A and B are shown apart, each in its own frame.
Chain A
Amino acid sequence: MTRRRPTSLRRRLVIQLLALSAVLSALIFLAVRISADRASEETLDAVLGAAAVSLAEAMRGGDRDGGSVTVDLSPVTFSMLAAMGEERIFYRVDLDGRTVTGYGDLPLPAELPDALAPRFYTVGFRDTELRVAAVRRSLMVAGRPAPLLVLLGQTRDGQEAIAEGLANRAALVGLVVFSAAAIFSLLAAGSLLRPIGTLAEAVGRRGPRDLRPLRDQAPAELSPFVTALNGFIARLRGTLSQTETFIAEAAHHIRTPLSVMRNEAELALRETSDEPARARLRRLIRAVDEGARSAGQLLDHATVLYRAGQQEMAEIALGPLVAALVERSRPIAAMRDITLLPSLPAEPLRIRGDAVLIEAALRNLLDNAVKYSPPDSAIDIVLATLAPAGGGAGAAMAEIRIADRGRGLDGAAPQAFTIRFRRGSNVGDVPGSGLGLTIVAEAAAAMGGRFDLSPREGGGTCATFALPLPG
């Protein structure tokens, strides 16, 4: 049962970039170091070689009888060689394979040099390491040519000191490159991974019902993910949509026969005067009404869920919409001598929302108000803007209050009514499915609005449906 920590893309990216820049820095360091070493060695070799050659050229053959060689070492040459970093100088002159002067133990090159071109080699000598230039030429000694070998060696402490300085500088450059790369890699990892964060935020910011496809600009590498996610969302939407279609079809197939049934029952009711039969017919009609109403609300509910997922917001003039809804509810209200008293502002009160959701919510509220109001009463419908609560925090709201003189909430908590299929304890014999207020609450939530039920002063209920006004 070992729990593996989720791998972090950011950490992996940073580590890889850092490793890469470390290698790069090391390469830079080595390149600077090697090329600097080589350049300084070549320069010093050139000087050393020139000194050795001039030393060799200053050799003169001895007298015919003397059988030796004249050596005229130039102090200037030595000074010059030594001046380059205060090097130590060693030399050896061999004539005919025999050391005539200098340090006889100075090691010879592995291979003898050609003519006057110096051969360079590095060799350990006594307590130090030497760079030696070897030059060969011939001298006439005692009337015959004799091979002359001149070795001139110098320490390279100065070069090493310079190389060390360069190496330090190169190391510093490498370190700077590495630091820059480290900072860069952190930034790069951040910016590379930002789209993922943005995407996650875009998905996370959505409401639970928001089923629009993702349209955020995602990098090409993320597009398969976005496509898959959108595919999933589309399937989910399709499922919801199928549900709606199914309910709609079901409703159609139930309602049409119900209509026939109800009409026939009503006709039968008019034609018979047998009281028990009439009572049965009335019960039948009531049952049909109840069934039809439940089917309608189920469908409404499905629609609201679906539309909430779509989030197809448009600009809506709330004033005219409320006015039309009130107008359309008047006939039903009038049947029971209930007066609708709308109080609408002069301006249209534009908001962003889904007309279908608003219509569903308000129609349910009006239906409820009419249903539970006693005959000959009035229902107040007020549309108003509400300043943000707390003097500025939050958006201003457009608020629709529908206040009736019905039987009220009977002391129950208003939230209880928005639970699916839960009805008030005092509904009595009024038919209903208990879905109406759930629909209203869900519609409000989908549009970032609010729905409250509160007891009305002097009896009755006040339903408040509020939607945010665009800032």
Chain B
Amino acid sequence: MRFLLVEDNRELSASVAMRLALDGHAVDAAATLAEAADCLAAASYDLILLDIMLPDGDGRAFLARHRRAEDRTPVIVMTARSAVSDRVDALDTGADDYITKPFDFAELEARCRAVLRRRGGEAQSLRSYADLVFDPFAATLTVAGESRDLRSREMRLFELFIAAPGRILSKDHLCDRLFSFSEPVSDNAIEVYVGRLRKKLAGSRTRIETVRGLGYRLTDQAGQGGGA
């Protein structure tokens, strides 16, 4: 996906951009409304992350202009003020959602996904591996032509596996991505979700292997040789 990030704080902008890039998204960063307008004129984006307080104006005014131009690119407003009225104003002006700084990337992802799903989903985002077809927006997994619904955490867990098939993902890494940092997580919590995901994969050529002491990985049993 391609993001337009409009944020004047360079450090924050860089960290958000890097974080999104790590997840495989393309990010254009704009520090002012003027730059943002230039970017929008040059390219089309899947989603705009918009700060409210910018050196050359109010993000909400930009949003209003954007909506008047009938640009349907979804917008998520990032606000540091978090005043209730700011949030209400942002929604009234046409933002699709807002997120309060600082935010959990998992929450940002979830909100992006929700916004995009509301906008009708993105067909090109379907991913396939072996006999699996994964639709992250519809949260469905098709195993050998049979469609199976994934719950949110199952889906996010599967997204991690399908993003890097064959790679070993440590329990810690998975925990960090799956659970909020403020959520108490027991040691076997990740095993519960891996177990659920294995059931959803039943009948597939693929499976999630436990690599003792290291973590888990998604493998294609048909191409056995490809594994380590």
Contact = CB atoms under 8 A, between A and B. Distances in A.
B114 A331 contact: yes
Interface string B112-153: 011000000000000000000000000000000000000111
B137 to A, nearest CB: 13
A2 interface: no
Nearest to A288: B102
B82, B180, B183 interface centre (most CB from chain A within 10 Å): B82
Contacts of A263: 12, 15-16, 18-19, 102, 105
Contacts of A251: 80-83
Contact of B100 (A273, A292, A356, A360): A292
A335 interface: yes
Contact of A335 (B53, B102, B110): B110
A269 B83 contact: no
Nearest to A275: B172
Interface residues of B, number: 44
B187 to A, nearest CB: 13
Contact of A431 (B19, B53, B83, B182): B182
B64 interface: no
B173 A270 contact: yes
Contacts of A360: 84
A302 B173 CA distance: 39
Given A303-B83, A303-B84, A334 B101 contact: no
Q: A interface, how many residues as a size bin?
A: 35 or more
A328 B19 CA distance: 23
A287 to B, nearest CB: 10
A300 interface: yes
Interface stretch (A8-16, A48-56, A135-143, A253-261): A253-261
B176 A269 contact: yes
Contact of A267 (B22, B53, B85, B114): B22
Given A256-B9, A332-B110, A337-B151, A264 B102 contact: no
Nearest to B17: A263
A331 B184 contact: no
Given A258-B102, A335-B152, 4 more contacts: A258-B101, A260-B11, A288-B102, A332-B107
**Which 7 A-B pairs give the minimum distances between C-beta atoms?**
A263-B15, A259-B102, A331-B110, A334-B152, A255-B80, A262-B102, A259-B101
